[in-house]
Amino acid sequence: MLWLTNGSHEVKIKATSGTFRVHNDITMEQFSSALNNDDWINSHAAINKDNTSLAYDHFIKTYAELGLYNKILTIKDIEQ
C-alpha cells in the first residue's frame, strides 16, 4: 500500500510466497482508535520535561511491546 498526501492506494503485486501485513480501512481505523484510546500521560510528561528520548520510549512500549501494531495489523501467509 502506498501512502500519499491524498490517501492510500493499493499496489497490486502478484507474489507467490511469503507473508504480508493486513492493511485496509478497517484495520487502520482500529489501529488509530487503539492509539487514540491509550493513556499517553507518560509520553506527555516526558515531552513537557523536554525528554524526547523518554517520550519515544513510552510510545514504542505502547506501539510495539504491548502489541498494538502486531495485534491489529496482523501478518498473514500468502496462499497459493
- Mean per-residue pLDDT for 69-78? 84
Predicted confidence (pLDDT) at residue 54 exceeds the cutoff of 90: yes
**Cα(15)–Cα(71) distance, integer angstroms:** 24
For residue 10, count CB atoms less than 10 angstroms from its CB and return exposed for 0-12, middle for 13-18, buried for 19 or more: exposed
pLDDT digits (tens, 9 = 90+) for 27-50: 889 988 888 888 889 999 999 999
pLDDT at 6: 47
For residue 56, count CB atoms less than 10 angstroms from its CB and return exposed for 0-12, middle for 13-18, buried for 19 or more: middle
C-alpha distances in Å from residue 11, one per residue of 15, 23, 76: 12, 12, 17
The total of structural domains in the chain comes to 1
* Total-model pTM: 0.59
Q: Give the cell for residue 61.
A: 512500549
Q: Which residue range is the domain that position 64 belongs to?
A: 2-77
